[in-house]
Structures are given as structure tokens and as C-alpha cells.
């Protein structure tokens, strides 16, 4: 076939992109166009076989040239090429409160600069962000490609990075499995404490005490509840180990049931709410234990730690009652670290009585 195409080029002067072994091999390595007809694929295979047979028998001849040109045309119609020129990327589905700074942080570039993106970078954006559940919706990454082109596959480095388990060592010494999984990463716990401010903080879902430690270290006096006695013992050990035992009072029991009495006694206390996250929860009602919303109503400051997929429009009183912050952190198990930093959770804060 190659000989046939070369002969045709010599005769007609018409260059054919397949007139060389390397070009044919490159073409055969390319993916088939989506929707390529099975019958056309079979025809291509038959033509290739026949062209090769004839070329072997007859050497350079018009029949081989003709057949080779036919193969070439069909092959080009069936296969797609990997795009090499910069492409334009469009990302939609940004959730409420995910402003320009957060977008730039997630993308690793200003969001306005998506007009001319290198193909490998576009492939990384698609792999890392397309379909990501964020703030009650899903991000959608669309790439404008020429009709016959596809994005390059992810580089080996990016694929390895995507699957890598980057588990930051836990920052508290005493943890059970549940406590380790739900421990707020230290930089985020510190930011939350700085945002909520010193004073009195009620923490009705203490766990092993990550946030309680951060609040105490930021100068707050903390009253915490944990209903699991074994986990409460771990939290106490953490308060001692982190030097905050004198600033945190931990009680074993139902923190939701005790909130109304505590708020009557300390009406200015801030409440930090970190209930267990049921898998796949996207609405506040799926997260809040019975009675919590009513118990929070009289509080003058409430901070919620929420899964990143949660829709903030479902928060009590609606979006306008809350200030939101999307918290970034290092990628966790199974998360794509291709873009370096990922959104770990949402912090919502309201001040003033509901
Ligand atoms: C997500 S964890 C808290 C993690 C903590 N903020 C940290 O950074 O270490 C939630 C904890 O609340 C506890 N819990 C759930 N419902 C409770 C309730 N009604 N009263 C007290 N504790 C509760 C669970 O046992 C769990 O340990």
C-alpha cells in the first residue's frame, strides 16, 4: 500500500499523509472515530489485506495505487487525530459562593484564561474536574475540538498522581478509625477557629476533638459533647496531649438534646456543628439529626462543617443567611491530585439569630 501511494505521489505530485510506513503506523495507532460503522471498519481491514497482497504480487501498479488511495481515504475518514494545537475549554456548573479566587485556585490558573489551553492540560482538567460534585451540582468541563480530533490520553505521571493515596499523617495522637476519618485537617480547623473567633464555643459533635483543640488553641472556651464514650475518652486524651484540657469541658451524651439549655445559659455562645456525614448527602436535611435545626435557631453564631457536595441553598433560612467558604486541602485517598489542591469541604457561617 505504501509503495502504491508513493508511486501515485511520484506520478501525480499529490502528497498523501499515508505515504510512509511511520505515517501508516501512526494512523493505525489512533483511536477510531466515535460511531465508526462496524461495516466500514471491516471494509478497511479487507482493503488493507488486499492492498498488501497485491503489492506483494504485483509491485508498483496502477491497481495497487488505486486500492492504496481508497484505503487511505477510508482510514482517514474512520480514525481521529490527537489534537496538538491549543484548545478552548469551558467549565460550567460552578456552585453558589465559589468565586473567582476559588476557581483560580482549583484550576491553577485564572478562570478567564481558558481560551487557549494546551491539549495535555485540557485532558487533565477533564479528568480531574468533569463531573466533580460540588455545592449541590456537578462541574462540567467542555473542550472545543476540531471534528476529527480527540484530546491526548493522560500522561503516565498524571494517571499515577490521580490514583496516589496521599494521606496526611493525622495531627492528633489519639484516634479511632471513625475519629481519623472525620478529623478536620489542622489547617482547616485553624482557619475555622480564626473565623469563628474566641469566646465561648459549643461543639455538640466533638468526635476525637480536632475542632475543639483548634478552638481552644485560638483562645476560646469550649463545651463539647460526644455520645460515644470510648471516643470521648480519646478526645480527652487529645486535649491533654495538645495542652488544652483546661479550656475544654467534654461531656458524654447527646449534644443536640443539651443545646437549648446551654444556649439559655450562654446566649452569646457560638455553636460549631460537625455531625457525621451520611455518604452521598447533598441536602442539609439529610445531614442534620432530628431537632438540630430548632436547637440552633436561637444561637447568635453558627458555623457548619459540610461535605463539599452539599447544596448550600438547602441550608436553614436559605443561602442569604450564610457566608460560605470552600476549604481547600491536599488530596485524600482516591481523590485526583492532578490539580494539586482539592476542595475538601464547605464551611458555612451565620451571625445573628435565625
Ligand atoms: C464528624 S465527627 C466530629 C469530628 C471533629 N470535628 C474533629 O475534627 O475531630 C462527629 C461526631 O459526633 C458524634 N455524634 C453524632 N451525633 C451526636 C449527638 N447527637 N451527640 C453527641 N455526639 C454525636 C459522633 O459519634 C462523631 O464522633
**Inside any domain, residue 171:** no
Three-state DSSP class for 337? Answer: coil
Residues 181 and 123 in one domain: no
Residues 311 and 335 in one domain: yes
Residues 205 and 298 in one domain: yes
Cα 333 to ligand 1 centroid, rounded to whole Å: 22
Per the structure, the count of domains in the chain is 3
Cα 102 to ligand 1 centroid, rounded to whole Å: 28
**Which pLDDT score, from 0 to 100, does residue 3 have?**
73
Residues 159 and 249 in one domain: no
Q: Residue 31 is part of which domain span?
A: 2-79
Rounded Cα distance, 218 and 215, in Å: 5
Q: In what order do the strands lie in the sheet with 200-203?
A: 248-252, 221-226, 200-203, 270-273, 301-307, 341-351, 323-330
**Inside any domain, residue 105:** yes
**Which pLDDT score, from 0 to 100, does residue 177 have?**
96
**Inside any domain, residue 169:** no
Of residues 112 and 212, the one with the higher pLDDT is: 212
**Inside any domain, residue 170:** no
Residues 27 and 139 in one domain: no
Residues 109 and 255 in one domain: no
Mean pLDDT on 295-299: 97
For the chain, give the mean pLDDT.
87
Residues 159 and 207 in one domain: no
Residue 336 has pLDDT above 70, yes or no: no
Angle formed at CA 58 by CA 56 and CA 60, multiple of 5 degrees = 95
Instruction: Write the CB contacts of 120 (distance below 8 Å, at least 6 apart in sequence).
Output: 152, 155
Residue corresponding to grid cell 435557631: 297
Beta carbons of 51 and 68 less than 8 angstroms apart: yes
* HEC string for 241-254: HCCCCCCEEEEECC
Bridge partner list, 270: 201, 301
Beta carbons of 129 and 91 less than 8 angstroms apart: yes
Q: What is the pLDDT of residues 92-113, one digit of tens each?
A: 999 999 999 999 888 888 878 8
Instruction: Give me the percent of the chain exceeding a pLDDT of 70.
Output: 88
DSSP state of 218: T
Q: What is the pLDDT of residues 280-293, one digit of tens each?
A: 999 999 999 999 99
Closest ligand 1 atom to residue 256 Cα is: 19
Mean pLDDT lowest among 49-53, 116-120, 161-165, 335-339: 335-339
Three-state DSSP class for 279? Answer: coil
Of residues 28 and 209, the one with the higher pLDDT is: 209
**Band of residue 20 on the pLDDT scale cut at 50, 70, 90:** confident
Find the CATH number of the domain harbouring 127: 3.30.70
Our answer on whether the CB atom of 60 is closer than 6 Å to any ligand 1 atom is: no
Mean pLDDT lowest among 77-81, 274-278, 281-285: 77-81
Closest ligand 1 atom to residue 255 Cα is: 20
For the stretch 48-56, contacts whose Cβ atoms lie closer than 8 Å and that sit 24 or more positions apart, written own/partner, are 48/1, 51/1, 51/4, 52/1, 55/1, 55/2, 55/3, 55/4
Residues 9 and 75 in one domain: yes
Closest protein CA for atom 13 of ligand 1: 205
Residues 16 and 40 in one domain: yes
Mean pLDDT on 221-225: 98
Mean pLDDT on 5-33: 72
**Band of residue 50 on the pLDDT scale cut at 50, 70, 90:** confident
**Inside any domain, residue 227:** yes
Residues 47 and 22 in one domain: yes
Rounded Cα distance, 71 and 51, in Å: 8
Three-state DSSP class for 150? Answer: strand
Our answer on whether the CB atom of 208 is closer than 6 Å to any ligand 1 atom is: yes
The grid cell for 214 is 483548634
Q: What is the pLDDT of residues 141-153, one digit of tens each?
A: 999 998 878 899 8
Ranges of H-type helices in the chain: 2-12, 21-29, 38-58, 62-78, 100-107, 119-129, 156-163, 177-182, 186-196, 210-217, 229-241, 255-265, 284-287, 292-296
Picking from 98, 128, 163, the residue at the C-terminal end of a domain is: 163
**Which pLDDT score, from 0 to 100, does residue 308 have?**
95
Mean pLDDT lowest among 158-172, 185-199, 225-239, 304-318: 158-172
Beta carbons of 203 and 215 less than 8 angstroms apart: yes
**Which pLDDT score, from 0 to 100, does residue 47 have?**
77
**Inside any domain, residue 208:** yes
Residue corresponding to grid cell 475538601: 344
**Inside any domain, residue 94:** yes
Most confident of 20-34, 43-57, 66-80, 206-220: 206-220
Our answer on whether the CB atom of 207 is closer than 6 Å to any ligand 1 atom is: yes
Find the CATH number of the domain harbouring 263: 3.40.50.150
Pocket test for ligand 1, best of 179, 226, 271 (most atoms within 8 A of CB): 226
Helices (H) and strands (E) in the chain, counts: 14, 13
Residue 351 has pLDDT above 90, yes or no: yes
Our answer on whether the CB atom of 256 is closer than 6 Å to any ligand 1 atom is: yes
Q: What is the pLDDT of residues 166-200, one digit of tens each?
A: 566 899 999 999 999 999 999 999 999 999 998 99
DSSP 175-206: --HHHHHHPPPHHHHHHHHHHH-SSEEEES--
b/e map of 142-154 (b: 16 or more CB within 10 Å)?
ebeeeeeebbeeb
Instruction: Write the CB contacts of 322 (distance below 8 Å, at least 6 apart in sequence).
Output: 304, 312, 315, 348, 349, 350
Our answer on whether the CB atom of 227 is closer than 6 Å to any ligand 1 atom is: yes
Residue corresponding to grid cell 457566608: 323
**Which pLDDT score, from 0 to 100, does residue 205 have?**
98
Closest ligand 1 atom to residue 257 Cα is: 19
Of residues 76 and 219, the one with the higher pLDDT is: 219
**Which pLDDT score, from 0 to 100, does residue 340 have?**
44
Residue 258 has pLDDT above 90, yes or no: yes
Our answer on whether the CB atom of 119 is closer than 6 Å to any ligand 1 atom is: no
Closest protein CA for atom 19 of ligand 1: 254
Picking from 45, 79, 113, the residue at the C-terminal end of a domain is: 79
Residue 267 has pLDDT above 70, yes or no: yes
Residues 140 and 288 in one domain: no
Mean pLDDT on 207-219: 98
Instruction: Give me the percent of the chain exceeding a pLDDT of 90.
Output: 61
Instruction: Write the CB contacts of 177 (distance below 8 Å, at least 6 apart in sequence).
Output: none
**Inside any domain, residue 172:** no
**Band of residue 341 on the pLDDT scale cut at 50, 70, 90:** low
Amino acid at each position: 500500500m505504501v509503495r502504491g501511494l508513493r508511486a501515485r505521489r511520484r506520478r501525480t505530485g499529490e502528497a498523501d499523509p499515508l505515504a510512509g510506513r511511520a505515517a501508516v503506523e501512526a494512523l493505525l495507532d489512533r483511536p477510531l472515530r466515535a460511531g465508526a460503522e462496524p461495516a466500514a471498519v471491516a471494509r478497511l481491514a479487507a482493503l488493507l489485506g488486499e492492498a498488501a497482497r497485491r503489492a506483494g504480487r504485483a509491485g508498483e501498479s496502477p491497481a495497487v495505487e488505486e486500492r492504496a488511495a481508497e484505503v487511505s481515504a477510508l482510514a482517514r475518514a474512520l480514525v481521529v487525530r490527537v489534537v496538538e494545537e491549543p484548545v478552548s475549554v469551558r467549565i460550567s456548573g460552578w456552585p453558589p459562593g465559589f468565586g473567582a479566587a476559588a476557581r483560580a485556585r482549583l484550576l491553577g490558573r485564572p478562570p478567564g484564561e481558558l481560551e487557549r489551553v494546551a491539549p495535555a492540560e485540557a485532558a487533565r482538567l477533564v479528568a480531574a474536574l468533569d463531573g466533580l460534585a460540588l455545592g449541590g451540582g456537578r462541574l462540567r468541563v467542555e473542550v472545543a475540538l476540531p471534528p476529527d480530533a480527540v484530546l491526548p490520553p493522560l500522561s503516565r505521571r498524571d494517571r499515577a498522581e490521580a490514583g496516589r493515596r496521599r494521606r496526611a499523617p493525622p495531627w492528633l495522637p489519639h484516634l479511632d478509625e471513625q475519629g481519623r476519618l472525620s478529623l478536620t485537617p489542622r489547617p482547616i480547623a485553624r482557619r475555622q477557629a480564626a473565623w469563628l473567633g474566641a469566646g465561648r464555643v459549643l461543639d455538640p459533635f466533638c468526635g476525637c476533638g480536632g475542632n475543639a483543640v483548634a478552638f481552644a488553641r485560638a483562645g476560646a472556651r469550649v463545651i463539647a459533647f460526644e455520645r460515644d464514650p470510648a471516643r470521648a475518652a480519646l478526645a480527652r486524651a487529645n486535649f491533654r496531649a495538645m495542652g488544652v484540657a483546661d479550656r475544654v469541658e467534654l461531656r458524654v451524651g447527646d449534644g443536640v438534646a443539651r443545646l437549648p439549655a446551654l444556649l439559655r445559659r450562654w446566649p452569646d455562645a457560638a455553636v460549631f456543628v460537625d455531625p457525621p456525614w451520611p455518604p452521598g448527602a447533598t441536602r442539609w436535611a439529610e445531614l442534620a439529626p432530628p431537632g438540630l435545626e430548632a436547637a440552633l435557631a436561637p444561637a447568635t453564631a453558627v458555623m457548619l462543617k459540610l461535605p463539599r457536595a452539599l447544596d448550600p441553598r438547602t441550608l436553614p433560612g436559605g443561602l442569604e443567611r450564610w457566608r460560605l467558604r470552600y476549604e481547600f486541602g491536599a488530596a485524600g485517598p482516591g481523590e485526583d491530585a492532578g490539580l494539586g489542591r482539592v476542595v475538601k469541604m464547605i464551611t458555612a457561617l451565620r451571625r445573628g439569630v435565625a
